[in-house]
Amino acid sequence: MSNSSLAFVFPGQGSQKIGMLSDAAEAFPIIKDVFAEASDALDYDMWDLIQNGEQDAINLTEKTQPILMTSSVALWNVWKQENGAMPAVMAGHSLGEFTALVCAGSLAFSDALKLVRARGQFMQSAVPVGIGAMAAIIGVDDQAIVDICADVAGDECVQAVNFNSPGQVVIAGHAGAVDRAIVKLKEAGAKRAMPLPVSAPFHTDLMRPAGEKLAVELENIAINTPAIPVIHNVHAQIEADPAKIKGLLIEQIYSPVKWTSCVQTMVSQGTELLIECGPGKVLSGLAKRIHKPLTASAIEQPDTLRQQVADLSA
């Protein structure tokens, strides 16, 4: 039975680190089973890579995307195995939206793994390494960021691409245009404007070729109506129609991630507890900034996961 005040969220790129989920795997053997399934689907030992590999290797987007999806799906399987309460709604940040659809029963795990690996390759090939950049901007009004990006773009591209929480927005585009925007945003009072260690300018118009290639991949993939409603990044609304979900997954590659709005939609539907299912605590941290009364928790660690299961069944 679902808990009407519970939402699950799934992280996107940036939460990966060597050694992640090692404690969880010791406590819950099902974690390694899920990684074995993913490794079989993609023909490399994913668990060995995230435990013993190099950070540079897991930061390559075609590796990062399947790794993070597998980590989140593994923790979701643990949650179900421990008889955790079912959420009333789900969402994922960028890549995490694909993970949410897997956990909601809309997309088969093996299909999704191949899809996000291809998505990573398409996103990387759309803009050669070194041409694009992303930067996090703290402390400037959302609309002011949008306007400054438009002012400095010129013949290049720079856009606000992740609306992560009020006062925290990521911009992306051509490296030179991003640099120009950083200068102007600092003049406009940005507390911080820092380049991000990513390999391509995600969620910009420069990703339209990647969207076209993803559309071809999606033609051969079955999508079902999610058993648990999923809120989508593009418009921060729930979509049940599989054909429209495919369209949103394509559009998402070159559209801003409206994360603040996604969380506000959850709150409007009665969410009081938000659980981050995956490595790290990025989204649970953002949740409190978006809506202070929200309770937010991350379940990467076994003791936290068990405690949350117990609290919700009490």
In sequence order, what are the residues at sequence separation of 6 or more whose Cβ sits closer than 8 angstroms to the Cβ of residue 99?
A: 10, 68, 69, 72, 73, 92, 112, 278
Q: Measured between alpha carbons, how far is 175 from 122 in angstroms, rounded to an integer? A: 19
Output the CA torsion sign for 104, 37, 11, 222: negative
Instruction: Quote the tokens at residue 234.
Output: 């593009």
Note whether 149 and 240 are within 8 A (CB).
no
Torsion of CA 104, 107, 112, 118, to 10 degrees: -120
- CA distances to 165, 174, 203 from 149, rounded to whole Å, are 18, 11, 14
Q: Is 284 a catalytic residue?
A: no
Q: Is 203 a catalytic residue?
A: yes
Strands (E), the chain: 2-10, 86-92, 132-138, 158-165, 168-174, 192-195, 230-231, 273-276, 295-298
In sequence order, what are the residues at sequence separation of 6 or more whose Cβ sits closer than 8 angstroms to the Cβ of residue 175?
A: 130, 131, 132, 133
Which residue is catalytic, options 174, 203, 232, 291? Answer: 203
Which residue is catalytic, options 72, 94, 165, 199? Answer: 94
Q: Measured between alpha carbons, how far is 46 from 161 in angstroms, rounded to an integer? A: 29
Longest CA pairwise span in the chain (Å): 58
Instruction: Quote the tokens at residue 249.
Output: 């997954």
Supply the residues annotated as catalytic.
Answer: 94, 203
